[in-house]
Amino acid sequence: MGFAWDVQGNGRTSVRGGFAIVYDLAQFGLPLANTVTGVPPFVYQFVISNPPSFTVPWNTQGGILSRNAIFTEWDSKQPRMTQYNLSVQRQLPAQMVLTLAYTGSRGYNIPTKWDENFPQAPVQGTVKNRVGCDGGVAPANVPDGAPCLAPIVATCANAIPSCRPNSAWGTLLMQANRSKIWYDSFQVGLDKRLTKGLQVQSSYTFSKGLDLSQGATGDATDFNHLNEGLPFYSMKGRTLYDARHIYRFNALYHIPNLNSSGIFGKLTNGWWMGTLVALQSGSPFTPTIGGNRSTYGAAVGASSTSVDRPDLVVATTPGTGTATGLTFVPFDPEKVIIGNPKQWFNPLMFMSPRQGYFGTAPRNFLEGPGLQNVDFSMNKDTRFAALGEQGALQFRAEVFNLFNHPNFAQPNTQVFVGSGAAVGGPVEAPLASAGQVLRTRTRSRQIQLALKIVF
């Protein structure tokens, strides 16, 4: 549904708006895949952790097994998105048009995954140093995180997580359409139509994109929706494609021809130039821990390849147990981004959480490198009557990334291996590769010469 209104009736000011509801009709791939990979009664998954011996038939009731399954929500609602916009356009002198617009969208019932056998309420107490599910006591002032998912240490050797609602099972992975997406933007555009050899287009977008998950395959950094209210570990965060500021500019300029003929006119007339400018702020990312330290594993069931988030170092974090030769510093949002491609963020502001617990770092709260790129071209059109009425020979000299600006890609987000002591805290040294930028988003300066025949 849309409308357009000529405000003054003279064609110089217009107001336009639109609204749409869009449905996803083909999102059944994952439920079908789940049926053949882990949905009872078709499939049961068992993880055997370092058995002392293996005999057939295998005793599936032993305590060294972690029983896991994957389910699909039987009454999932159809994914949909609402889109809406409102704009005002005003014609200005010199054949220019100014546009001010708001554009937004909301996504509902987006496919995601979580562990349905997740503690229904945080098990974290209000008293520090409490005994956790790992059987140990956290050092003074070390964040407990929330919640405990599995016993870790030898004193709790039973591999079936006893702190889950159904202690007879490990991960019960639920595929459900319950995630959401939010997008809002303010846009400013200035266009100049081609007059006196000059054409210009310029636009700026200030936007914000949020969601509750990152992809229908699930993400261990996006845990159970029931804990959305936790102040220090909310699953709501910036979308991976969120760029707060985006500016684009392009222009074409035809150099006036000289009143001359012959060879001199052929050389001096028909020249024109063009440029493209792209400026953009960075996209968000989340520091991670290799392995499945929390044992949540929503991304791939109970696999050890899931990723978790680290704890933020707080001012009162004790120095005992600090990794050799390193001094962890309190997290500072103003200083955590270093901006050096060798180490984009400071890994010493993070530490390993207790095993069986989530870290306290938010999701997608750090920002990666931005984008700055300028392309330029110089062109010449030469009339070539032998090719017909429209015949011409066009020479093009194009320079991509004119200023040879390095536009870095996202840094390496893994801060820790995840094999530190179960007690958590500053007990594990960050990886040497933490925060390193290993590639660029754009190429270095490229110069291209071309000869084009138009007929």
Q: What is the DSSP string of 396-445?
A: EEEEESTT----B-PPP-EEE-S-S-TT-BS-SPPPTTTT----BSS-S-
| pTM (predicted TM-score) | 0.81
pLDDT(61) > 60: no
Instruction: Identify the H or E element spanning 34.
Output: helix 29-37
pLDDT(78) > 80: yes
Give me the number of domains the chain comprises: 1
Please check whether residue 80 is in contact with residue 184, taking contact to mean a CB–CB distance below 8 angstroms: no
Residue-level pLDDT at 172: 78
More confident residue, 393 or 19: 19
Q: How far apart are CA 306 and CA 337, in angstroms?
A: 25
Instruction: Read off the pLDDT of each residue in 185-191 and give the average, rounded to a whole number.
Output: 98
Token representation of residue 295:
């044992």
| Residue carrying structure tokens 């929500």 | 73
Distances in Å between the Cα of 260 and the Cα atoms of 254, 256, 263, 270, 380 are 17, 12, 9, 12, 16
Ranked by mean pLDDT, the top range of 61-65, 256-260, 436-440 is 436-440
Give the total residue count for the chain: 455
pLDDT(454) > 70: yes
Instruction: Give the model confidence (pLDDT) of 300-355 as tens digits.
Output: 433 334 568 888 988 776 655 667 678 888 999 999 999 999 999 999 999 988 77
Token representation of residue 250:
């392009």
pLDDT(399) > 50: yes
pLDDT(236) > 60: yes
Please check whether residue 147 is in contact with residue 356, taking contact to mean a CB–CB distance below 8 angstroms: no
Which residue range forms the structural domain that includes residue 22?
2-454
Instruction: Give the model confidence (pLDDT) of 87-139 as tens digits.
Output: 999 999 989 999 999 999 999 988 887 777 765 444 444 333 344 444 455 55
Per DSSP, the chain holds a count of helices (H) and strands (E) of: 2, 22
Residue-level pLDDT at 309: 85
Residue-level pLDDT at 325: 74
Residue-level pLDDT at 188: 98
Q: How far apart are CA 335 and CA 288, in angstroms?
A: 19
Residue-level pLDDT at 68: 74
Mean pLDDT, the chain, integer: 79
Q: How far apart are CA 5 and CA 13, in angstroms?
A: 8
